[in-house]
Structure 1
C-alpha cells in the first residue's frame, strides 16, 4: 500500500452567531495554509441548516480553493445526492475535474441532517435508496457515451448526456459511511473509496472491520477491488506541545461544539456530562478524540492501523475548539512531527545524524589533523622566508584543546 496520506475534513463547524463572510474566508485561508504545510487532501461538506455547518455548496468552495492552492487535493465531503438532479451533479463534478486538472475528489452521501431533508420535503427513510438511484445515473453519465433515459419517483432524465468527459481517466469517488453499510456497498459496486466519518466513535469502531468486508465482497461481485489506499478515516484532533496546553486551548470553543452536538446534531458518542472541560476529557478517555501531543496523535493513528488492517488516509475533523492561532499551530505540529513518523520523510536525516554522532570522535580527529597540518605547512613556509608565523601556536593549541575536550 502507498504511503499514509493526511488531510482535513471540514463540515465546517462554526459557532453562531458570527459573520458568515469572515467564516468562509477563514475556511479558504485554512486550506491555503494546509496546502503550504503539505497536507494531501481537504474535504468540504454540504449542509443547509443548523447554522454551524455553513457551506451549502462544496463545489463552489472547491472552485475557489483550487485557484489559490497548488498541490492539495480537494473533495466534496460530501455531495448529498438526494438533494440534486443527477445530471446537474455529474455536470458540476466534471467541470470541477477540468478546472482543477484532476485535483478534485468527489464524496457522495445520502445527506447528514434530517432538518435539511425536512426543508426539501424529502423523507429521511428514502435517502439511501435515492442515493443509489442517483449514483446509477451519475456513473452512466460520467463513463457511458450513450444517452440515458431514466425515471424514478424523484427525477426524470430524457436522453441525458454530458457535454464532455471527465478530465481524469477515473474520477476519484468516495462514499460516506458512519454505521450503515450503504457507503461500502456503493464503493464496491462503483470501484470507489470509503469515507469513514466516525471511525473513532464506539459505533464506528465496531463496524469498521465489517464495513471493509462488505466493501470487499461487493467489489468482487462487480469485478472491482476494495483498495485500502482509498479508505479514509476521520477523527477530531487538537494537539499542542503538551497535553496541558492542548486542554487549555480547547476551553476556547469546545463548549459550543458540545452544545451543537447534543442539541442540534446527533453525535456518535453519548456524553456522561454537559460540563465542557469534563466532556473534553471524556472524549479523550473514550478514544473518540485526541486532545494532546503529537505523540498522542501518532498513537491514535497506529491504533486505527492495527484495528483496520490498514487504510490510505487519516483526515482530521476540523473544528473551532481552539482559537485561530492555536488551531493553526495544531496543524503545523501535525505536519512537523506526525507526518514524518508515518511517511518517512525524516528517516534519512535521522540516520545521518545518528551516524555522524556515532563517528564524531573520528571525524573531529580527522578535521583537527587537517587543520594542524595546514598550520605546520604555513609555519615552514614562513620559516623559509625568515619570518615568524603570528598566532600559529595559539591556533594549534586551540585545535588540540578542542580535540582533548571532546575526548573528555
Structure 2
C-alpha cells in the first residue's frame, strides 16, 4: 500500500547578485514559480527581508498575490513572515485575504526574523525576537481560525480583535514554524500543533539536529494536547543538478562565489571553509549541497529521510548559482528524474513492462494464432489468389510448428 507522496518545492529567499537589475531579478523569481507550476512542483515559499541588499523580497504577500494570478496549482507560502516586524492583527488580515484570493493555495510560514540588521533598523532588540515571535504566534493561531482575541504585550495590544472574513481554509490556513538548530521553532510548532520548516536541514548543525528537533516538537505537542504530523514537516537544502557532475560543477561557477560571499561576510553564516580549498568540494563533502546528477539528488534526500525518520516535503533552497537557462534545466531534471524515483511514480510502469516482456512469447503466440486463423478462413472462402507467397510460407511454418 502506498503511503503519502513526498512533495517537492522551493524556498525562495531569494538570493540575487549585486550587479544585476533588481527589477528583472524580481521578474525572474516570478517566472521561476511559473516554471515550477508547469513542472508539477507542489510548493513555493517566499522570504521576507529588509536589509543587506541580497535577498530582495520585502513582502511575501505581495509576491504571492502577483504569482497566484500566473499559476494554477502550486501552493504558495510565506517563507517566512518575520512576526516581530508586524502587528499580529494586520498580518493575520493580509494572510486571510490571500487565503480567499488564492482559493486556499496560501500557506503561512513564520519565524523570528533572520537578519539582525532588519531588527536593528526597527529598533527591535535581537534578544527579544524569539520571545516576540512566541507572543505573536499565540494570538495569530486563534485569529486565523476566526476567533476573537484580546491580549496585551509590551509591543502590541488586541481588544476584541477578529478577522472580518471567515477563513477560506478550515480551520485555518496551514501554519508552519521555521527551525534551524535551536529548539525555538520546534517548541513553538509543538505547542500550537503546527508544521515545522527546517531551513538549514543540510548544514552540519541542522542535519544533526533533525531528529532531536522533531522529538522536541512531539514532546511539546503532547504536553499541550496536540499531535505532530510528519507530512507537515519540510526540509530545505541547496541543489544544482545537471546531466553529469562535471557539467554541474561548471554551471555553478556562474554565481556560487556571490552566494558564498554573502553568507561568509554579510549574513555571518559560514557554509563552506574560506581556507583556499575548492568550495564546491567542501559543500559536497560536508553534505551541505548537491552539485551533481539526479542520482546524487536522490541519495541526498534518502540521507535526509534516514536521519530525520521521515518528512513530508523537500524544498530546494533557491540560490542562482547557475545561469538562468542552467537553473531552469536543473529544476526540470529534478522534476523529470528525481521526483519519480522518490514518489514511486514509475513503479507500476516498471511492473507493467516487466510483465509484458515476461509473457511476450505467450502473447505473440496468441497473436500469430489469431492472424493465422483469419488467413485460413480467407483461403477457404476465396482461395489463395490474393495471398502473398510470404504469408503462405509463414502459415505453413506455423502449421508445421503446431
State if a TM-score over 0.5 links the two structures.
yes
Shift in Å, 1:397: 5.3
Kindly provide the CA deviation profile for residues 371-408 of structure 1, in whole angstroms up to 9, marking residues without a partner as x: 3333343344332xxx7225x22245579999xxxxxx
- Contact kept? 2:272, 2:283, Cα under 8 Å: no
The residue correspondences of 1:183-198 to structure 2 (distance < 5 A) are 183-198=185-200
Shift in Å, 1:35: 1.1
Kindly provide the CA deviation profile for residues 212-255 of structure 1, in whole angstroms up to 9, marking residues without a partner as x: 11100110111110111111000001111111111111111111
Kindly provide the CA deviation profile for residues 175-211 of structure 1, in whole angstroms up to 9, marking residues without a partner as x: 0011111111110111101100001111101211111
Shift in Å, 1:137: 2.2
- Aligned twin of 2:362: 362
Judged with a 3 Å threshold, the aligned counterparts in structure 2 of structure 1 residues 109 and 394 are, in CA distance, closer, same or farther, namely same
Gaps of 5+ in 1: 403-408
- Aligned twin of 1:406: none
1:172 to 168, 174, 178: 174
Judged with a 3 Å threshold, the aligned counterparts in structure 2 of structure 1 residues 106 and 378 are, in CA distance, closer, same or farther, namely same
- Contact kept? 1:251, 1:322, Cα under 8 Å: yes
Judged with a 3 Å threshold, the aligned counterparts in structure 2 of structure 1 residues 395 and 192 are, in CA distance, closer, same or farther, namely same
- Aligned twin of 2:75: 73
User: 3-state DSSP class of the match of 1:122?
Assistant: coil
- Aligned twin of 2:375: 375
Judged with a 3 Å threshold, the aligned counterparts in structure 2 of structure 1 residues 268 and 358 are, in CA distance, closer, same or farther, namely farther
Kindly provide the CA deviation profile for residues 339-366 of structure 1, in whole angstroms up to 9, marking residues without a partner as x: 1112222111111111111222222232
The yes-or-no answer on 1:281 pairing with 2:281 is: yes
Kindly provide the CA deviation profile for residues 69-109 of structure 1, in whole angstroms up to 9, marking residues without a partner as x: 11111100000001111111111111111111111110000
- Contact kept? 1:201, 1:268, Cα under 8 Å: no
- Aligned twin of 1:294: 294
2:386 to 377, 389, 395: 389
What is the alpha-carbon distance in structure 1 between the residues aligned to residue 343 and residue 74 of structure 2? 16
- Superposition CA RMSD, Å: 2.0
- Aligned twin of 1:204: 206
1:87 to 89, 94, 104: 89
- Contact kept? 2:47, 2:57, Cα under 8 Å: yes
What is the alpha-carbon distance in structure 2 between the residues aligned to residue 332 and residue 365 of structure 1? 42
For normalisation by structure 2, the TM-score amounts to 0.93
Shift in Å, 1:257: 1.2
Q: Which moved more, 1:346-355 or 1:76-85?
A: 346-355
2:16 to 7, 14, 28: 14
For normalisation by structure 1, the TM-score amounts to 0.92
The residue correspondences of 1:236-385 to structure 2 (distance < 5 A) are 236-267=238-269, 269-273=271-275, 278-383=278-383
Gaps of 5+ in 2: none
Shift in Å, 1:326: 1.4
Number of aligned residue pairs: 395
Kindly provide the CA deviation profile for residues 299-343 of structure 1, in whole angstroms up to 9, marking residues without a partner as x: 111111111111111111111111111111111111112111122
- Contact kept? 1:8, 1:41, Cα under 8 Å: yes
- Contact kept? 1:202, 1:269, Cα under 8 Å: no
